[in-house]
Amino acid sequence: MTTVENELFGVVPIVPTPFTENEEIDEAALRDLIDFAIEGGIKAVCLPAYASEFYKLTDEEKLQVVRVAVEHAAGRLKIVAQSNHPSLKVAIKLAQANVAAGADVVSLAVPRIFSLPEASLKVYLSEFLQSIPDTPVLIQDFNPGGSSISVGFIKELMDENPNFKYLKLEEPLCAPKFESIIQATGDRIGLFEGWGGLYMLELVPVGIRGVMPGLAVADILQKIFTLRTSGEDAKAFELFERVMPQIFFSLQNMELFHYAEKELLMARGVLRNSIARKAAYIPDPSSISYIRELNQRVLDIVNDEKYGIRAVEKAVY
C-alpha cells in the first residue's frame, strides 16, 4: 500500500454534535467525545459531517466545533474538518477557516442537491482543492439518485490537484469500482468506505484505507478492521456480526441515526443526553425499546473480555 502525506488509516469516525437542553452546542460534551475517541485507539476523527447534523449548524457553529476539537485534541489525534456547502464560495471560506483553526485534513462532499454533469463538478472540486493547496483533502460522494463520480474523473482530479489525497464513497456493490480506482490512480488515493461500515469486510481485502462510521461503535469497528487486515477473518466476522444489527437499524434514516448514536453514547457513559436539533426524529415506544435492546447488545460486546474493548466502556445502560 502506497503511503500518502498525513496518512489516515483505519477507522475515522464522525463525531456527533452534542447539544444542551436548549439546543446550544455543548462544548464540554464535545471534549468528552474527543477523549472517548482517543481512549478507543482512534487516530483521526471527522466533524461536522452529516452524522454531526452539520446541516443544522450555522457556518460559525461549524467552525466552532472544529476549533474545540483541534484545541482539545492537541495533536493526540488528527482532525478532519468537513467544509460542505453547495456554494463553492462558501465552501472555500469554510475550508480556509478550518485550515486556519488547525485542521489536519479538510473534507468536502460533492454537491448533490440537484443533478449536475461531471464538467460542473470538476470546476467546483478543482477550485476548492486549489483554494487550500497545502492541505490534504478528502472528497466524499454519496449520490442516492445515481452513481458516484467516475473513475476517469477521479484520476483527472488527482493528476491536477496534488492535495486530493482521500476519497470516501458510500454505495453498495462498489468493490469493482474501488479496484478500478486503485488501479487507475496507482493506489495514490486513500479510499474510505462510509455508510456506517456496512461494507467494510467486503472492501478491506480490496485495499480500502479505512472506514468512516459513527463514533459510538468506532472502537469496535477499529478492532474488526485490524482483525480483517491481519488475516484473522473468522474473528473479524464474528465481531462484525454482533455489532451489525445496531448499525443496520440506525441507518434506516439519518435522523434516527442521530438518536440511536447519541443514545448509545449515553449508554457508554460519554454523553448526558441524546438531544438532536429540531426537526429531529421522535421515536415511538417500540423503537425506543428496540434501540435500547440493540445498544445493550453493543455494551455486551464491550464487556466481553475476549475482544479487549472494555477499557473505554464507562457505564451500564
In the annotated binding site for pyruvate, the residues are: 212
The answer to whether residues 166 and 138 touch, using CB atoms and an 8 Å cutoff, is: yes
In the annotated binding site, the residues are: 212
Q: Which residues contact 201 (CB under 8 A, 6 or more apart)?
A: 224, 228, 236, 237, 240
Class of residue 317 by CB neighbours under 10 A (exposed 0-12, middle 13-18, buried 19+): middle
What is the 3-state secondary structure of the chain? CCCCCCCCCEECCECCCCECCCCCECHHHHHHHHHHHHHCCCCEEEECCHHHCHHHCCHHHHHHHHHHHHHHHCCCCEEEEECCCCCHHHHHHHHHHHHHCCCCEEEEECCCCCCCCHHHHHHHHHHHHHHCCCCCEEEEECCCCCCCCCHHHHHHHHHHCCCEEEEEECCCCCHHHHHHHHHHHCCCCEEEECHHHCCHHHHCCCCCCEECCECCCHHHHHHHHHHHHCCCHHHHHHHHHHHHHHHHHHCCCHHHHHHHHHHHHHHCCCCCCCCCCCCCCCCCHHHHHHHHHHHHHHHHHHHCHHHCCHHHCCCCC
Write out the three cell numbers for 199: 461494507
